[in-house]
Amino acid sequence: MIKNAQWIIAQGESLIKPFVPDKVRKITSVNEGGNTYVLSMPVDAISFGVSGFGYDLRLSPKQFKVFRHIPGQIINPKKFNPSFLYDAELNHSLDGDYFILPHHSYALGVSLEYINIPDNIEVVFIGKSTYARAGIIVNMTPGEAGWKGHLTIEISNSSDADAMIFANEGICQALFFEGKSTSRIYGSGKYQNQLEEVTIAR
């Protein structure tokens, strides 16, 4: 059964940290270098926080790696070459902080939030409609029972134009499904305890 807002709020920071118990649609302050600054005018945000049956995670501003085309080279997911990716610069505008994702390219980002999935919960992550309507496809694998860490997020730009991908704002929604406890939890898998940085294919 899918879990509702009341269950998500009851879990709080034992499930997601930092935890936002409301649906946030405007940003009123920014954090730079450990200091918080109140904005003179609120900025519209791609929503994040608790929804009716899910939680909208934010994209971390710490790292965003964009695919670099290397002629003649082939990607091997089993032996991924990190030279295929370059670090994108975080830009600033009145609309918020953002990375540029070139047209017909993809990037790897990471969730601002740390997630700790209970042993009887499986999580499905889906993209945000604001991005989907702009041709931006957000793709993640399921969050398995017992997994914990910062989520590495794959973002593709299917449009013919470069796109702004906003940091500190909603990037995907987590849906929590409860089942009977299983002995096959994620445990010490190779993507366990990911830090707030991009984790490439291993």
Q: What does the pLDDT look like over 139-195, one tens digit per residue? A: 988 999 999 999 999 999 999 999 999 999 999 999 999 998 777 777 777 788 788
User: Residue 105 has which token pair?
Assistant: 């390219």
Strand order in the sheet with 121-127: 23-32, 35-51, 54-58, 170-178, 121-127
Q: Quick: pLDDT tens for 99-148.
A: 999 999 999 999 999 999 999 999 999 999 999 999 999 998 899 999 99
Contact between 61 and 169 (Cβ < 8 Å): no
Is 122 a residue of the active site?
no
Set 122, 154, 178, 196: catalytic member? 154
Instruction: Give CA–CA dist 49/51, Å, rounded.
Output: 7
pTM reported for the whole predicted model? 0.90
At the topology level, CATH places domain 5-178 in: Deoxyuridine 5'-Triphosphate Nucleotidohydrolase; Chain A (2.70.40)
Structural domain boundaries of the chain? 5-178
Distances in whole angstroms, Cα of residue 186 to Cα of each of 34, 50, 116, 193, 197 = 33, 25, 11, 11, 20
Average pLDDT over residues 36-52: 89
* Secondary structure of residue 195 in the 3-state scheme: coil
Per-residue pLDDT at 173: 98
